Chain A
Amino acid sequence: MAAATGALAADPVKVGFVYVGPVNDGGWSQHHHEAAMTLKEHFGDQVELIEQESVPEGPDAERVMTQMALTGADIVFATSFGYMDQVESVAAKFPNVKFEHATGFKSGPNFANYSARFYEGRAVMGTIAGMMTESNKIGYLASFPIPEVIRGINSSFIHAQKVNPDVEIRVVWLNTWYDPAKEADATQALLEQGVDVILAHTDSTAPLATMEKSGGYGFGQAADMAQYAPEPRLSSIIDDWAPYYEERVQAVMDGTWETAATWSGIKDGMVGIGDFSDAMPDEVKAKAQEVMDGIVDGSYHPFTGPLNKQDGTPWLAEGEIADDGTLAGMDFYVEGVTGDIPN
């Protein structure tokens, strides 16, 4: 036993993490980084972390991952959608290194993808937004036109509309994951247009900081962002990657790692819902809890028909549930969302 531990200690599993933003962005990248820290705590000397932050999506990511593979990484977690093609290319060059890509849809023999069903969280946030808005206009700060973001917009809108048939959604595309000044400007622009509840799909806390200054309600995104509770932050979608990372690294240690496409939601704890703030009336809390409970016990799926596409063509019939394939590649708005998705 002692010998086995000694052997492990001498040869730790090298785990690489690639982040799109700084590890203290207060949101997306920070939560991946914190999960990596938890991983380190869990395994101690058995793992060695190689982290690289603020890596742009594109050729730089390929260089970073190649470097990680060359320095002996056993498994690399690439934590942004835009790394997908680079992961594919590096994974092909290093068949003995395991690659895990967050929120994408491609995979290979040594190339797995994992994501969280954030749309489940969006369903809860959308419900709250629909009930809390007084102007009947809710806003959505969208980053890039990728399926994950489009699912978020659709899920938010569907559930806002369920509790408030008059609600409209205004989507602003920022073409960035992280640009606090632009996120703040866009939030301000939405507020000027009479929007009073805003869901953000970007990584910084700037939207909440702006709402604290100028009014309106928002939500924590990727992180709890509890420092902005009870107002403007009403609740939050929290990413919890740590259990998944532990499971996958353990699999590498045991030699049982296999490629997979993992997609977990609120039930498995990959998507956490932050505390409902006291700015929410009890009936709103109750309704949000009801939606959440339905998702957890499996009695309710956020994309349940009848639902039409934006142009009015039928998508899901009464009671029909969207299949994961369609959701994974979602490239259309549902009926009622205005505007076009940029290409």
Chain B
Amino acid sequence: MDISLINLIPLLMAASTPILLAGLGELVVEKSGVLNLGVEGMMITGAITGFMAAVSTGSPALGFLGGAAGGAVLALVFGVLTQGLMSNQVATGLALTLFGLGLSALLGQSFTGLKPPHTPDLHLPVLSDLPVIGPMLFRHDAMVYLSLVALVAVWAFLRHSRPGLILRAVGENHAAAHALGYRVTRIRLLAIVFGGAMAGLGGAYLSLVRVPQWTEGMTAGAGWIALALVVFAAWRPVPLLIGAYLFGGITVLQLNMQAAGVNVPVELLSMSPYLVTILVLVVMSALGAAAGAPGSLGRAFHASR
């Protein structure tokens, strides 16, 4: 048996990055009071648009931009439907997922079997050469670090900035925020587009780094895990990181234990992140902390009311 943290941590960080990115985006969206269940659809769309951009330009960086753009455009459709035309958010979100899966399959038809340009791992001076810590933490590709930077940025934005406070106010009570003169619909649209871009980035990470190739339906439920993570984290960024690494960690751990020849009950480990989520929800509601959900979450807003 040869399982060490040096082996596991890098795999864990790579496996968790897509759901962390998508989860962060959805967290901001839900903080603004919008429930977008279309994360899976936006992720898979980002996976193919990112892949297309990277293959046709030869640049992984442009690929990630393309992924973010693809996710953002799809999110904008959701935004126009739910904020402009006041459609039901749950139904629209689910439709967005189905639409994204189909659209990506269509777009990707001539891209199966192609190889994307290689995304290099960063080599940071000094840090990457540290013994033990270096290979564990400091030899990843740029997106892994970008996801962590994004996490800190989202945390600081929501917690310590005035626009962040406004966004939270809109999510907690849109009528009050409207009365104070804030443009609820515009703020929500911006949050939705941000959420789409982050989901698209997560998808592009799958098709450009983690797999790396395009195959239809390749997100295989990662978007739903990202959605669950937001609830698991009680709409707070730092627990989101813990949750993402827990989900990614357990997946990687069970695969590694099998590969190392350790007898593990595979089914039990596979379902454990979901069990933990349910447990966290039960504990939270028992403690009365379920109020972590934004007050106006999922409710349509129109200035006339």
Contact = CB atoms under 8 A, between A and B. Distances in A.
Interface of A: 21-22, 24-26, 54, 139, 168, 170-173, 175-176, 178-182, 184-186, 188-190, 192-195, 204-206, 209-210, 212-213, 227, 338-340, 342
B211 A210 contact: yes
A193 B2 contact: yes
Contacts of A339: 258, 261, 263
A192 B215 contact: no
B255 A181 contact: no
Interface in B213-272: 213, 215-220, 222, 251-252, 255-256, 258-261, 263, 265-267, 270
A172 B109 contact: no
Contact of B220 (A24, A25, A173, A181): A181
Contacts of A192: 7, 11, 256, 259
B113 interface: yes
A342 to B, nearest CB: 5
A188 B113 contact: no
Given A139-B259, A172-B259, A213-B118, A185 B267 contact: no
Q: Which of A26, A182, A184, A189 has the most CB of B within 10 A?
A: A189
Q: Chain B: interface residue count, which band?
A: 35 or more
Contacts of A190: 259
17 contacts: A22-B215, A172-B258, A179-B220, A180-B220, A181-B211, A182-B220, A184-B211, A185-B11, A189-B255, A189-B256, A189-B259, A192-B11, A206-B211, A209-B115, A209-B213, A342-B265, A342-B266
B212 interface: yes
Contacts of B215: 22, 24-26, 180, 204-206
Interface of B: 2, 7, 11, 15, 18, 105, 108-109, 112-113, 115, 118, 206, 210-213, 215-220, 222, 251-252, 255-256, 258-261, 263, 265-267, 270
A193 B115 contact: no
Q: Which of A21, A173, A192, A213 has the most CB of B within 10 A?
A: A192
Q: Which of B11, B18, B115, B258 has the most CB of A within 10 A?
A: B258
A170 B11 CA distance: 19
A24 B256 contact: no
Given A170-B258, A194-B2, A189 B11 contact: yes
Q: Which of B222, B259, B260 has the most CB of A within 10 A?
A: B259
Nearest to B207: A180
A193 B263 contact: no
Nearest to A25: B215
A42 B172 CA distance: 64
Nearest to A171: B258
A182 B217 contact: no
Contacts of B108: 24
Contacts of A21: 216-217
